[in-house]
Amino acid sequence: MPYTIYTTGIGYRRDQIPDEQIHGMDNPWSILWDPTYKGKVGVYPSYRDVMAIVLMKNGITDLNTGNDADLEKVRTDLLAMIDAVDPRIAYDASYNKLQNDKFSVTTAWSGDVVAGWEYAAPYTETAYKGFGYWFPADRKGPIDNDLIAIPKNAEHPRLAHEFINFWLTFRHAMDNFSWNGYQPPQTKADVNALTKTQGLYNKQSSSWAAPAEYVAPWMPDAVVRESDFAIGYREGPLSADVDDHWHEIWSEFTAGVGS
């Protein structure tokens, strides 16, 4: 059962990279290679998602490619990234390190950035407004969804179904969204209003109460629309040989060789 939908784009510090700057770039994906942010570029420890972004940067839209020439480009670019910006590999790149200014640009799942306010310590207005999310305006980028599955040998299948039903309820799904940032595939939700309406979770501290829109107004790119799934590119399973090839390239990157 699909329960969250998200895109994979770029998370950035708005105090260092104004919204207009990144949106005005010819190829915003390439910001991950910009030496200006050396030492402050974060990527996920996820070979498929990071390599998908490298493919996007090269204008290759088959995120499951086994083409040697395509993968060679990915390899060259990944190794060039090490030399250019000395990237860090971190799970919390886009929901913690970006928010706390440890990173300036990151590979980012939309939900991570949307929920990131929770980790911005301390909760001040500046911290809250400090980070943004970019995804191609034509919506041609990596998109995906997460699933909940009930294993065949589950001990309490009935309870599991009940839980999924609960999860599918509009109100609970939206409450969860307001807390964890990953958008539920609710057709009832007005996607255009997500940046204007307030969710259940009130982002506040003793000193400052943040407005509690589902998605911050300056991050419209993070809202996922039903139509995006027809436009965007999706990762699928790779054949054993191709997957080995992908792993080999990723290993070279994580071994820190540089080009």
What is the binding site for other proteins (CB under 8 A)?
A: 39, 45, 47, 82, 86-92, 95-96, 102, 119, 121-122, 240, 243-244, 247-248, 251-258
Q: How far is the CB of 225 from other proteins (least distance, A)?
A: 29
- Measured distance CA(131)–CA(117) in Å, rounded: 9
The least distance separating other proteins from the CB of residue 173, rounded to whole angstroms, comes to: 21
CA distance 129 to 202: 16
- Minimum CB separation from other proteins for residue 98, in Å? 12
Nearer to other proteins, 102 or 139 (CB): 102
Contact 73, 9 (CB under 8 A): no
| Contact indicator for 82, 256 with CB cutoff of 8 Å | yes
Q: Rounded CA gap, 208 and 172, in Å? A: 26
State how far the Cα of 7 lies from the Cα of 48, in Å rounded to an integer: 14
- Residue closer to other proteins by CB (options 230, 240) is 240
Residues 6 or more apart in contact with residue 181 via CB below 8 angstroms: 95, 110, 111, 112, 113, 114, 115, 116
Nearer to other proteins, 91 or 166 (CB): 91
Shorter beta-carbon distance to other proteins: residue 91 or 163 = 91
> Helix crossing, 157-168 with 170-180: angle to 10°?
80
Cβ distance to other proteins smaller for residue 86 or 235: 86
Least distance to other proteins from the beta carbon of 209, Å? 16
Residue 47 beta carbon to other proteins: minimum distance, rounded to whole angstroms: 7
Decide: helix, strand or coil at residue 175. Answer: helix
Q: At what angle do helices 240-254 and 68-85 cross, to 10 degrees?
A: 20
Q: How far is the CB of 119 from other proteins (least distance, A)?
A: 7
Looking at the Cβ atoms of 47 and 218, the one nearer to other proteins is 47
In the bound complex, what is the minimum distance in angstroms from residue 150's beta carbon to other proteins? 16
Q: Which is nearer to other proteins, 231 or 255 (CB)?
A: 255
Q: What's the rounded Cα separation, in Å, for the pair 54 and 249? A: 12
**Closest CA relative to residue 104, chosen from 116, 91, 87:** 87
18-37 as b/e: b if 16+ CB within 10 A: eeeebeeeeebbebbbeeeb
